[in-house]
Structure 1
């Protein structure tokens, strides 16, 4: 397990160093970073307003990004995470414009098994990778369009995904359905070669997205 974890770290660090150098990044105007050092993201402020629909997939135990957007723009945020520790943490958030859903974001509506992290002290579990040892848990997951239908939304203005390796299947479904959020904030957490990640970004660019910022494995893209 230790060797596997080391290999994973090497692949992720290599992609962090190489892919931004291979990618055309067009910052534009109005980019600001919201949230903590650990949980923050760069956002184009000219594309977010009070009536924006914001989905935040992957909560962990840090909602500094979500709350910063609410304070700055007055918008509402719908956050989703099925992890038991995240569910418990969410119970202590008192902001009325922050809404928590104890479900995962996935490529289909299904019950998935989530595997524990390599470090038991960490909160994040993964439905796509076996990283640590332990029982894990099962949880209901939904597609982006299912969440939108259940919540009565016709569009998503910003989708943040920090979903521990599930981002690629979710992106495939989003591109196939053509339900394209105007802003994507994605952590690419799947261990892969720099060239594979670059191909993934190119698919998004081919669908009309522009890379606005890259910070380690966190990418901000805009559409339209």
Structure 2
């Protein structure tokens, strides 16, 4: 055990030294200052900010919890895959079609599904971080394209958080900006010669409602849709209430289409977003 702890410390120390050197070469002491601030934010400030124990001090998190509680929690019919849950009443196999929108550097769900069912995973993310991560993982079942998914085929401006994180075309973060090509879900499905899919997973920083409404408009109905709905990053109560009104309308659309809505539990960062599984398991037969 001490040997493992020492090895971990050496790796962490080397990463720290390499970070100092990289940012010093990039922007001298201004770069080093940014690196130190980023490390402090990621390792300390962010963990305190997103901690669950003080959620009741934030009216926005309290209201998010109240909204969450109107949605039934997943039950024994669901199985955990990485950081999401799938309905076991729709068993997957090697021929299943799974789309994953939003990657960055977390493919725990995608790897779990691909490893267990040996089916291809079609992944889309506009960031270079995602491309590097996918190349590093080098999973034989991954089919990745560095683009965004939108309700139009067009170039979109993305905003990134100052100290790292997922880019968004909805939330205007104060960090680096970049332009990336985006395609409609229908366009990538056509390119892949798909007319349907078994699972659609989305973690796309505020863009999900618009894309899902478009998906329902064109008549695409996956067996399961797993979505993280991020609430607005502003302190505007109007934006906050509009978000929940929009989400309730979307839930109603899914349920009108024969889906059952389930809330997926979160262990960390509770009430900053809501994770939902829309499952066709309870579709009423005509």
TM-score, normalised to structure 1, is: 0.85
1:165-180 correspondence to structure 2 within 5 Å: 165-180=206-221
In structure 2, relative to structure 1, the CA distance for the partners of 1:132 and 1:12 (3 Å cut) is: farther
Partner of 2:191: 150
CA deviations 1:89-130 (Å, max 9, x no partner) are 11112221111111111111111010112x4232x0001110
Residue pair 1:19, 1:198 contacting (<8 A) in 2 also? no
Residue pair 1:48, 1:73 contacting (<8 A) in 2 also? no
Partner of 1:133: 175
In structure 2, relative to structure 1, the CA distance for the partners of 1:168 and 1:12 (3 Å cut) is: farther
Partner of 2:78: 31
- Alignment pair present for 1:46 and 2:89: yes
Question: Which region of structure 1 is more displaced relative to structure 2, 66-75 or 197-206?
Answer: 197-206
C-alpha separation between the residues in 1 aligned to 2:117 and 2:75?
Answer: 20
Residue pair 1:48, 1:157 contacting (<8 A) in 2 also? no
In structure 2, relative to structure 1, the CA distance for the partners of 1:188 and 1:143 (3 Å cut) is: same
From 256, 263, 276, the equivalent of 1:206 is 256
C-alpha separation between the residues in 1 aligned to 2:123 and 2:91?
Answer: 17
C-alpha separation between the residues in 1 aligned to 2:205 and 2:261?
Answer: 21
Partner of 2:163: 120
User: What's the offset of the Cα at 1:174?
Assistant: 0.7
Task: Considering fraction of residues, name the structure with more strand.
Answer: 1
Residue pair 2:73, 2:264 contacting (<8 A) in 1 also? no
CA deviations 1:31-58 (Å, max 9, x no partner) are 01111xxxx1011123131121000000
From 123, 129, 154, the equivalent of 1:79 is 123
Q: Of the two, which has the highest radius of gyration?
A: 2
TM-score, normalised to structure 2, is: 0.68
C-alpha separation between the residues in 2 aligned to 1:15 and 1:163?
Answer: 22
Residue pair 1:26, 1:210 contacting (<8 A) in 2 also? no
How many residues end up aligned between the 2 structures? 209
User: What's the offset of the Cα at 1:200?
Assistant: 2.6
SS in 1 for 2:113: helix
C-alpha separation between the residues in 2 aligned to 1:214 and 1:15?
Answer: 17
Partner of 2:137: 93
Q: Which runs of 5+ in 1 are unaligned?
A: 1-5
User: What's the offset of the Cα at 1:26?
Assistant: 7.0
Task: Considering fraction of residues, name the structure with more helix.
Answer: 2
C-alpha separation between the residues in 2 aligned to 1:126 and 1:208?
Answer: 30
C-alpha separation between the residues in 1 aligned to 2:227 and 2:60?
Answer: 14
